[in-house]
């Protein structure tokens, strides 16, 4: 199952100045916010965007499993984006990781959202 996608778009340029970003040249807030809205319109609810030092993520909870849809720019670019699925473990040390198959509705909706947007090009899916 493809769990990572890279694409090109000028639609998610950072709005705030560099000193307001999570880390220098690490973007993705606008992309994460756009995705949570578009996914909800497809019937796939997520959290509001949260941040880590590498970028932004939205949470997807289903059947007592937690997944993050991680969003960020490709290093050195403000128009090339990477979105990937991170399945969380239910216990310490990575044991009992949520099955990737549980995120199928999220990944299907993500694929549809990206394919339907005229502002997104050069979509490349892969298994992470």
Give pLDDT tens digits for 9-50: 999 999 988 888 888 889 999 999 999 999 999 999 999 999
Strand, helix or coil at 116? helix
Answer whether 77's CB lies under 8 Å from 26's CB. Answer: no
Answer whether 44's CB lies under 8 Å from 76's CB. Answer: no
Answer whether 6's CB lies under 8 Å from 82's CB. Answer: yes
**Locus of tokens 């998610």:** 12
Q: Compute the Cα dihedral for 19, 53, 82, 44 and give only its sign.
A: negative
Strand, helix or coil at 4? strand
Q: Give the whole-number percent of the chain exceeding pLDDT 70.
A: 97
Q: For residue 86, count CB atoms less than 10 angstroms from its CB and return exposed for 0-12, middle for 13-18, buried for 19 or more.
A: middle
Q: What value does the mean pLDDT take over residues 79-105?
A: 88
């Amino acid at each position: 199952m493809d769990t990572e996608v890279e694409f090109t778009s000028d639609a998610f340029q950072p709005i705030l100045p560099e000193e307001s970003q999570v880390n220098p040249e690490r973007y993705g807030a606008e992309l994460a916010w756009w995705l949570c809205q578009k996914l909800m319109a497809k019937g796939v609810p997520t959290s509001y965007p949260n941040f880590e030092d590498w970028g932004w993520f939205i949470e997807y909870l289903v059947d007592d499993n937690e997944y993050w849809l991680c969003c960020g720019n490709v290093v050195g670019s403000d128009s090339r984006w990477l979105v990937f699925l991170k399945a969380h473990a239910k216990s310490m040390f990575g044991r009992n990781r949520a099955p990737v198959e549980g995120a199928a509705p999220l990944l299907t909706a993500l694929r549809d959202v990206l394919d339907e947007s005229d502002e997104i090009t050069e979509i490349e899916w892969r298994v992470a």
